[in-house]
Amino acid sequence: MTRDEKIEELTEVLSAGKVFTQQAKERIEEKTDEQLDYILSPIDQCIYLEACAGSGKTEVLGLKAAYEICRWISRQTGIAVLTFTNEATATIADRVSSFYGKPVPSNHFIGTFSSFVHGHIAQRFGYKFYDIPGDRTDKSFRIIDSDTNPYGNQWLNNYRLEFPFPKQTIYASQLYYKGSCKDWFVSQGESTKSLTEMYNSVECQQYIAEIRRRKNAPYLFQLNYLKDQIKECKLKFWHDGFANFDDMNLIAHRCLRDEIICHFIAKKFPVIMIDECQDLSANELNILSLLITAGVTVHYIGDLHQAIYSFKDSCPALFLDHLTTHHFETMHLSQNFRSTQKIVDFSRKMGGIDYSISGSVESKCGNYDCCYVEYDDDEKDAIMAFTDMLNRFDIPINDAVVLVRTQTAKQKLSHGPSNDHKTHPIINAIQLWQQNEPVARQTALSLLAYQLQRWMGFHGKSNNYYYSDEVCPNVVSWRLLLRNILVELCSDPVMTTVDELTYGSWYSKNKERVISVIAHHLNTIGQDLPVITIRTPKGTAKQPMVQIVLPEEEQLCVETIHSVKGGTFDAVLLLSSPDARGKTGFWENWLKSDDESGRIGYVACTRPRYLLCWGVGNLSDDQRRKLEELGLAKLNNDTP
């Protein structure tokens, strides 16, 4: 097909039986040949669309899904379009609707991967394999947070791991399985540990040796015994109708090993399209493998060079093996609409990408599109030099960002509280509401709505207080509900006190009251708050509480690299830790393209349109030469 024929085919299918706007037609006409080729690709062939940074993949996925839904005949089967966050779901649903032109039929599904697995597989069929108590009319699993405190939930003692680890008790709710290494891990507060490594530790082996000596039983507590106890502990947990969030993938996998169930799902959703596929965990890939074997066609859209969630057990090597095993065809999107050619070329080199990528943005900074600045002892010196660059090249400070690796570094450079108010949405909403300023109160409403969306699973847009007609009949009633919740929370002096408290102590004092107030107000609109556990966000329990303030209009924003994945800025200062102790936050590790630290660096370097600057500690001559050979220009005080 010629380009004109491809555009005509798309326009004809999408416009059939409905009004098709000129704007929608123009959006089709502006697509590249690569984008059109994927949109018109076979829906019965498993395809991996490797989409470079800035390639417009979300738009392409939305158009592809709308095109296939228009061509879909059956009302009993449908397409599942999946991603990993509620916000991404809302974005994709909006793109699909804009091209489809009317409400998407209910036989199709647009949502998160977890909501699909939970709703259509694990919760629907899991009871068949686990003897959930017969006196429960609701046979669904109750999701127990891995951070649930056993001291306030004595019933968890029924699900202790019966194994003598020294100085600690492990509960079924804390155990989760990593498919990439085929090992069980325990989540304890802010850390996760392999149970095999814990067993083999010197402390544990000495403890077990002492028990064996006392009991004169040299073969007690072997590793295989530990594995048997883990299985027994987990099965009891599941049979009694409980599971943690990660367990649901294992339960879904068990369901799909039943051929009847697997073929039922495959028949109901014969096509699955997954955005940000590089974020799939090993357990999620195992689920998809069973569905593919049962006849499901899967389309993956993403970029393995942006796989930065190893803590979630995503592994590029396993994903590539999965593609080979199931005979996926690979297609590419290789035009970057976000960045200048120099930024694209530099990012491609550091990412070890072996195909050409075209940049589409005209340079504003000449030889300094990609540059670096050295600092002595204080990273803020690099920020000052970067700010000077913004002024020289007339880049608004509000369109620039400083990127760091950790929340600790972010808070240090932000002079106090994190700019990401969503870390503590309820606390920050209460504080902002009390300020009695219009912008502060709007932000407070949005933060509370964001938290309710996370707890209740509905989908809404951030610029409309996350409103969804699934929950409330109209947006005015929704805003009144949010206001009433905040008014009641702020009327409690215990809630509004932050002096001399840590975040952990505030949550401990107020979490039950927060749940009670919110549940009461939701009941007034006929909604129930799901069973939830409020926990202190990781890494913040011991931090002293700070009075939150909205950033000044001219304040340079500081963010973590993970938080801006998918984002775009005019200029980025990527700030390295001073030395290699920073591991994934140190610049030399960003050049290791086969390692996650290299992928983290790649994600950061593909965010800017016009200016990419690395802030690094003092370098040797060899290190300077290394950066300059890659394409970074040295930034001097007299840079024109």
List 192's β-bridge partners, or say none.
Answer: 187
pLDDT at 419: 44
Same domain, 306 and 405: no
Same domain, 162 and 233: yes
Binding region for ATP:
51-58
Tokens for 594, please give them.
Answer: 């086969």
**Residue-wise burial string across 99-131, b where 16 or more C-beta atoms lie within 10 A, e elsewhere:** bbbeebeeebbbbbbbebbbebbbbbbbbeebe
**Per-position DSSP letters for 435-467, written without gaps between them:** T--HHHHHHHHHHHHHHHHHHH-----GGGTT-
Same domain, 213 and 293: no
Cβ–Cβ < 8 Å for 438, 446: no
Q: Region 7-12: what's the mean pLDDT? A: 93
pLDDT at 332: 97
- What's the Cα-to-Cα distance from 305 to each of 472, 612, 627, rounded to whole Å? 40, 18, 20
Owning domain of residue 599: 342-355+362-418+551-634
Cβ–Cβ < 8 Å for 299, 82: no
Q: Region 7-20: what's the mean pLDDT? A: 87
pLDDT at 585: 85
473-507 pLDDT, tens digit each: 888 889 899 999 999 999 999 999 888 899 999 99
Whether residue 245 has pLDDT greater than 50: yes
pLDDT at 552: 54
Residues 6+ apart with CB under 8 A from 635: 368, 371, 372, 373, 385, 389, 613
Tokens for 288, please give them.
Answer: 């998809």
* Rounded Cα gap, residues 238 and 258, in angstroms: 18
CATH number at residue 613: 3.40.50.300
pLDDT at 470: 80
Q: Point out the domain boundary residue: 193, 219, 240.
A: 240
pLDDT at 632: 96
Q: Is 247 part of any domain? A: no
Based on its alpha-carbon atoms, the radius of gyration of the chain, rounded to whole angstroms, reads 26
* Rounded Cα gap, residues 632 and 613, in angstroms: 8
Q: Region 538-557: what's the mean pLDDT? A: 76
Angle (CA) 49 588 193, round 5°: 75
325-367 pLDDT, tens digit each: 999 999 999 999 999 999 999 999 999 998 999 999 999 999 9
Q: How confident is the model at residue 184 (pLDDT cuts 50, 70, 90)?
A: very high
Provide, for the chain, the percentages of residues in helix, strand and coil under a 3-state DSSP scheme, each rounded to the nearest 5.
50, 15, 35
pLDDT at 16: 85
Average pLDDT of the chain, as a whole number:
91
Whether residue 191 has pLDDT greater than 90: no
252-305 pLDDT, tens digit each: 999 999 999 999 999 999 999 999 999 999 999 999 999 999 999 999 999 999
Same domain, 113 and 35: yes
Q: Is 198 part of any domain? A: yes
pLDDT at 136: 65
Whether residue 50 has pLDDT greater than 50: yes
Q: Is 535 part of any domain? A: no
Q: Point out the domain boundary residue: 219, 240, 261.
A: 240
Same domain, 312 and 347: no
Tokens for 566, please give them.
Answer: 């998918």
Q: Region 521-543: what's the mean pLDDT? A: 88
Cβ–Cβ < 8 Å for 67, 13: yes
Q: Is 546 part of any domain? A: no
619-640 pLDDT, tens digit each: 999 999 999 999 999 986 555 4
What is the percentage of the chain residues whose pLDDT exceeds 70? 96
Whether residue 416 has pLDDT greater than 60: no
User: CB atoms < 10 A from the CB of 234, how many?
Assistant: 22
Tokens for 555, please give them.
Answer: 């304040």
Tokens for 220, please give them.
Answer: 């007690």
Same domain, 115 and 260: yes
**Better-scored residue on pLDDT, 233 or 477:** 233
pLDDT at 411: 74
- What's the Cα-to-Cα distance from 9 to each of 34, 40, 79, 103, rounded to whole Å? 16, 9, 20, 22
Q: Is 640 part of any domain? A: no
pLDDT at 639: 52
Give the predicted TM-score (pTM) of the model. 0.79
User: CB atoms < 10 A from the CB of 28, how many?
Assistant: 22
Whether residue 554 has pLDDT greater than 60: no
Same domain, 492 and 597: no
**Residue-wise burial string across 454-481, b where 16 or more C-beta atoms lie within 10 A, e elsewhere:** ebbbbbbeeeebbbbeebbeeeeebbeb
Helices (H) and strands (E) in the chain, counts: 24, 19
Task: State the total domains in the chain.
Answer: 4
103-130 pLDDT, tens digit each: 899 999 999 999 999 999 999 999 999 8
Q: Is 103 part of any domain? A: yes
pLDDT at 93: 94
* Rounded Cα gap, residues 578 and 587, in angstroms: 9
pLDDT at 619: 93
Same domain, 258 and 110: yes
Whether residue 198 has pLDDT greater than 60: yes
pLDDT at 79: 98
Binding region:
51-58
Same domain, 427 and 411: no
What is the percentage of the chain residues whose pLDDT exceeds 90? 71
Cβ–Cβ < 8 Å for 268, 291: no
Q: Is 210 part of any domain? A: yes
Q: Is 427 part of any domain? A: yes
Same domain, 202 and 280: no
User: CB atoms < 10 A from the CB of 263, how many?
Assistant: 15
**Better-scored residue on pLDDT, 25 or 337:** 337
Same domain, 566 and 621: yes
Same domain, 271 and 322: yes
* Rounded Cα gap, residues 640 and 637, in angstroms: 9
Tokens for 385, please give them.
Answer: 């030099």
Q: Point out the domain boundary residue: 190, 217, 240.
A: 240
Pairing of strands 633-634, 569-575: unpaired
Whether residue 383 has pLDDT greater than 70: yes
Q: Which of 84, 592, 13 is nearest to 349 (CA)?
A: 592
**Distance from the Cα of residue 333 to its chain's centroid:** 22
Q: Region 507-526: what's the mean pLDDT? A: 93
Q: Region 196-200: what's the mean pLDDT? A: 96
